[in-house]
Each structure stands twice: as C-alpha cells, then as structure tokens.
Homo-oligomer: A and B are copies of this chain.
Amino acid sequence: MASHQIEALTQALARLPGLGPRSARRAVLHLMKKREAALEPLLAALQAVADKLSTCSTCGNVDTSDPCTICRDPKRDDRLLCIVEEVADLWALDRSRLFPGRYHVLGGRLSALEGVRPEDLSIDQLVARIAAGGIDEVVLAMNATLEGQTTAHYLAERLEKFPIRLTQLAHGLPVGGELDYLDEGTLAQALRARRPLA
C-alpha cells in the first residue's frame, strides 16, 4: 500500500523509544505533508548530529564534539565531579541545572547476574582523573537499585585513599510522592534519613 521507502522510514521511526508502529505511521504522514516545516529540518538536524557524533574521551558523554559541551564549558566547577552509570543519567541530572560541576559516565553498573565487572566500566579512567588532582568532592549518583548501590559501595572503597569528600544523592520521598503509594524501602530510607525541621 505504501512504497518501500515509506515502509523503511516507518520502521526506523517505530524503533525509537516512545514510538510504536501506529504513532510512527502518523509521524511519517506528518513529515510527508509538511516537507518544509518538518521533514527538511529533521533531516538536516539528524545529518548534523550524525556528522559530528562522538563520545567524550574525558567523561564518556555522547555529544557532537570531543571534549563534550560540558567538559569544554569554562564556567563549570572542576573541583566537583559527579559519577553516573549511563549517559541518560548525566542528561537527566543536567536537566535539573542544579549541578555546577563535571561528570563521569561509568558506562553501566556492576552486575554479577549480567557478568559486568569493574574492568568493564570506565573506573580506571575515573581513578586516573581523580589521581590527577584538583577535585574536592565526588558525588556518587548511582541509581537507587541493588546494582547501583553495589557499584557505589565499590567505588567508595576504590576512592577512599584520595583526599576528597565522597557524597551520594539523598534517598527519600520523591517530590509529590504520597506515602500510601510508596514502597517500604523508600519509606524506610526516608525515615532513617529524617532531618530536624528548619
């Protein structure tokens, strides 16, 4: 019913997270009906990213330059380093615009089940970065999962010999969270880490 080029585009779009076959078809139709306003800009933007796509050799972020935009930003605080599991975590944290320092992407988390060992992550590069000096605080921003926390513990041990302050993200109630709907683990953490009223 549609040409093979249209089918190929529909399938490529349907493989994006958040788009299924139905919405991909709607997107293709939109692109074809709005050539100047939608198709051409998307094509140009995609081409520009494809031309320059690179992984930052300093922090592991993906960007269109190496070093990445964050590592090159002179306004960032070199003394603050935030360690995350994946690039997606870096992007999520940076969207909050609350962290003024630099990042380090591990490229995963330690996992006995999936056979991920310390040497599979960029931990040696991280240690080298910290050993080079100039960093005062390292924030462990692992996911609040068993594997994320295992990774954080491992890193804490590997980094304890350095004269740095090691911190981790607070655990507790998410903003908007209702006690009735939260799991016991979160409630236990929130209770354990309770703080005096200001």
Contact with B along A2-14 (1 / 0, CB 8 A): 1101101101110
B-chain residues with CB within 8 Å of residue A128 when the two chains form the complex: none
Q: Does A147 contact B (CB under 8 A)?
A: no
Residues of chain B within 8 A of A15, CB atoms compared: 38
When all copies of this chain in the complex are counted, the total is 2
What B residues does A39 contact at CB under 8 A?
46, 49-50, 53
**Among the listed B5, B26, B47, B62, which residue makes an inter-chain contact with A48, where contact means beta carbons less than 8 Å apart?**
B5
Seen from chain A, the residues whose Cβ lies within 8 Å of a Cβ on chain B are: 1-3, 5-6, 8-9, 11-13, 15-19, 23, 25-33, 35, 38-50, 52-53, 62-65, 68-70, 87-88, 91, 94-95, 97
